[in-house]
Amino acid sequence: MAVRVRIKIEDRLKTWSTFAEIAGTAAASLIGLLFVAVSIRIDFIARSQELRNRAAQTLSLFGTVLLTAILIAVPGQATEALGAELTALAVIAGGGLAVLDHRAKADASTQAIRKTLELITPTTIVSILLLASGVLLLFGVHGGLYVLIVPVLVALTSGVASAWLFLTKITE
């Protein structure tokens, strides 16, 4: 005889609170790092439409992770509601990141780091996986939370790399 244990919806998301806290704290801290990096190199970044847009992409990636963490941490919400919120966030963030990418490519800078920044900006993968996670949760597939790990890690990792490049590799 099989015994089924029913887990309440809010208990499923409660177990993700530590993930939300860590991701949100990391994203907020990295937003601060990005502001410092851009502030130190503002003379060079301000002159380049491409670098300004790449910095905005990095800020958007960190902001997307921060908003994702906030949405996960909302108490008592249904998994499907989180799915709808993440789906909306993916569409909005994906659209914004695509516009910034288009603007960055429209006016290529002479900086040596421009190709590296273009390669490490994972706008498409973050947007698509965030959307996939949202849609899965929207349809009640709780494995969508596990899909969410990848875009969060990719956004944070690539954002750190971008901030480091802004800080150390912009030349005069």
User: pLDDT tens across 81-126, in order?
Assistant: 999 999 999 999 999 999 998 888 787 666 666 666 666 678 888 9
The answer on pLDDT for 170 being more than 80 is: no
**What per-residue confidence (pLDDT) applies to 167?**
81
**What per-residue confidence (pLDDT) applies to 58?**
92
Helices 79-106 and 49-73, axial angle in degrees (round to 10): 180
For 139-169, b where at least 16 C-beta lie within 10 A, e where not — what string?
eeeeebbebbeebbebbbebbbbbbebbeee
φ, ψ of residue 92 to 5 degrees: the values are: -65, -50
Task: Please calculate the CA angle 75-31-143 and round it to the nearest 5 degrees.
Answer: 40
Q: Is there a contact between 58 and 159 (Cβ–Cβ < 8 Å)?
A: yes
With the CA atoms of 152, 64, 168 and 161 taken in that order, what torsion angle do they form, in degrees rounded to the nearest 10? 20
Q: 3-class SS at 115?
A: helix
pTM value is 0.86
The answer on pLDDT for 4 being more than 60 is: no
User: pLDDT tens across 124-142, in order?
Assistant: 889 999 999 999 999 999 8
Between residues 3 and 70, the one the model is more confident about: 70
How many H helices and E strands in the chain?
A: 8, 0
The answer on pLDDT for 7 being more than 50 is: no
CA distances from 73 to 64, 80, 170 (A): 14, 14, 37
Residues 6+ apart with CB under 8 A from 137: 79, 80, 82, 83, 86, 144, 145
**What per-residue confidence (pLDDT) applies to 114?**
63
Q: 3-class SS at 48?
A: coil
User: pLDDT tens across 19-54, in order?
Assistant: 999 999 999 999 999 999 899 888 888 888 888 888
**What per-residue confidence (pLDDT) applies to 109?**
61
